[in-house]
Each structure stands twice: as C-alpha cells, then as structure tokens.
Amino acid sequence: MAIQTGDKAPAFTLPDQDGKLVSLIDFIGHKVVLYTYPEDNTPTCTVEACNLRDNYAILREKGLVVIGVSPDTIAKHKKFESKHSLPFTLLADPERELLMAYDVYGEKKLYGRTYMGIFRRTFLINEAGIIEHIITTVRSKEHTEQIMKVWGID
C-alpha cells in the first residue's frame, strides 16, 4: 500500500555523508523536509539540491530541517556535498530500505525503456512525525518555493 498524507512517517536510521547515523526520531519536534532523488551529480538532482542550498537560510529560519536521500554511498554523498557546498544532511541508502519504505523505488519508463529506479518525491513531515504533504511532481528549479507554498509558509 502506498504511503499517504496523514500516515505516520516510516522510521529510519541511515548514515549521512559523514558516516554519522541519523534517525527520524532525532527530529521529533521539528518540521522535516525529506526529499528523495535518484543520484548525486546528475543534472536535475544537482539543480534540485542547489535550489535547496541557495534557499537553506530561509528554510532554517522557518524552522524546517532538510534531509536528502538517494541510493548513493556515503563517499559519493560527501563528494556531492563538497562540490556543491550543500549545508544539509544527505542520507546514504544503497540497500534502498528507506526508499522502499517511502514507496519511491519502483518501475520507471524513459524513452520507451522500462527500468527500476527512484522517484523524485518530497515528504513534509510535521513535528509529531506525521506526513502532512507529499510533493509528487517536484519542480527542481523551484523546489523551495513549492515546499513553502504547499506547507503554507510565507
């Protein structure tokens, strides 16, 4: 069954780009922007991450915690973070545990080819750990604007 708005966000514990274990429970009491993306250093994923980076101060000012997740390794995340000066947490999920729990790993089609991959999604999780919104059509260049609009933040 697909994860939906109003559901309790699936718990996770994964390493970040520094190898430190990060759990959803660490953020109880905070609003969390959990965004899933296919791969570090690809064009659209980089645009999305850089949009969040460029607006990070605004997001933090509004009390939001930003966490990115992809199936990339800790080392690849560290290079991505360093290359683009990303100020937020990137979780490594090469076993796709979180990605499957959030129902963002599945069959995709591109140019007539079918393959398994990661869906670009953003989960807005409230202070109690409940999913308040799911952005299913992410506009990478305007991602921060989307987040703030959907969550009703000026």
pTM reported for the whole predicted model: 0.95
Return the exposure string of 102-135: e unless at least 16 CB atoms fall within 10 Å of the residue's CB, then b: bbbbeeeeeeeeeeebbbbbbbbbbeebebbbbb
Is the pLDDT at 154 greater than 80? The verdict is: no
Give domain status of residue 4, yes or no. Answer: no
Q: In Å, how far from its chain's centre is CA 8?
A: 17
Q: Which residues are catalytic?
A: 45
CB-neighbour burial class of residue 85 (10 A; exposed 0-12, middle 13-18, buried 19+): exposed
- pLDDT tens across 93-128, in order? 999 999 999 999 999 888 888 989 999 999 999 999
Give domain status of residue 40, yes or no. Answer: yes
What is the domain count for the chain?
1
Give domain status of residue 14, yes or no. Answer: no
Is the pLDDT at 1 greater than 60? The verdict is: no
Show the domain range for 120.
21-150
- pLDDT tens across 48-83, in order? 999 999 999 999 999 999 999 999 999 999 999 999
Give domain status of residue 129, yes or no. Answer: yes
CATH of the domain at 77: 3.40.30.10
Give domain status of residue 26, yes or no. Answer: yes
Give domain status of residue 9, yes or no. Answer: no
Give domain status of residue 125, yes or no. Answer: yes
Q: How far apart are CA 40 and CA 62, in angstroms?
A: 26
